[in-house]
Amino acid sequence: MSSHASRASATHHLTLPVTAEDVRKIAVGDMVYLNGEIVVTIGLPTHQRILDNAASGGHLPQALPHGAFFHLSCYNRETADGSYEALYMNPSTSTRYNSYMPRIVKALDLRMVGGKGGLDAASVAAMRETGCIYLSFLGGGCTMLARAIEKVVAVDWTDYISQFRLVTLQVKDLGPATVGIDAHGNSIYTTLAQEAQDKLPALLAQMKAEREAAAPPAGE
């Protein structure tokens, strides 16, 4: 794992698709704005279907290989002419998909994944292996994220409810998103968890001292 402690964070305006070499230049804590096509879904069964289809050579959206795959909830309304209109977009918690993501990252050779809340160590290892970063989108940033949608490119697997479908969107200046995990295995989620763990003994000692100070003297 490389260290970026002395490096100032940077802002990247990226046009998709990007290469593994491109994302390896991006560090944890950097900010990213995206232009181009992304694929979104929040469906658990959708993740399994991606794996099943990848294994069997079945149909997957063209944007997914070497692309950007995000846990963004998106409701798409069908219009009178048969096209789709995206009404909103909002991040979902990526840890819900921990059991799927290492295999999806490697099977599809993804460059970017994201949502909110990060991913587990197995996913981080897969991302480091293939050259993939995790983007953390602002929770509750529905309005800001939706403004970045230029059009709905495709809606796949329409047998699912809208939010579970695989939706390909064309976006402009989608962001800002924070690089929560970089392609070298650095993770702000691991760092924050360790910092919290390190502070726990002192906090517990402080709480104990405050309880003892507030307790009445023995014998009263």
pLDDT digits (tens, 9 = 90+) for 69-124: 999 999 888 889 989 998 889 999 999 999 999 999 999 999 999 999 999 999 99
Backbone φ and ψ for 6, nearest 5 degrees, come out as: -95, 0
pLDDT on residue 199: 47
Instruction: Tell me the C-alpha distance between 107 and 65, whole Å.
Output: 9
Residue 171 is predicted with a pLDDT of 96
What is the mean pLDDT of the segment spanning 159-179?
95
Q: pLDDT for 34-65, tens place per residue?
A: 999 999 999 999 999 999 999 998 778 777 76
Q: What's phi and psi for 101, nearest 5 deg?
A: -65, -40
Arithmetic mean of pLDDT over the chain: 87
Q: What is the pLDDT of residue 188?
A: 93
Query: Which domains does the chain show, CATH number per domain?
Result: 11-188 (3.20.130.10)
Q: How far, in Å, CA of 192 to CA of 186, rounded?
A: 12
* pTM of the predicted structure, to 2 decimals: 0.83
Phi, psi of 57 (to 5 degrees): 80, 20
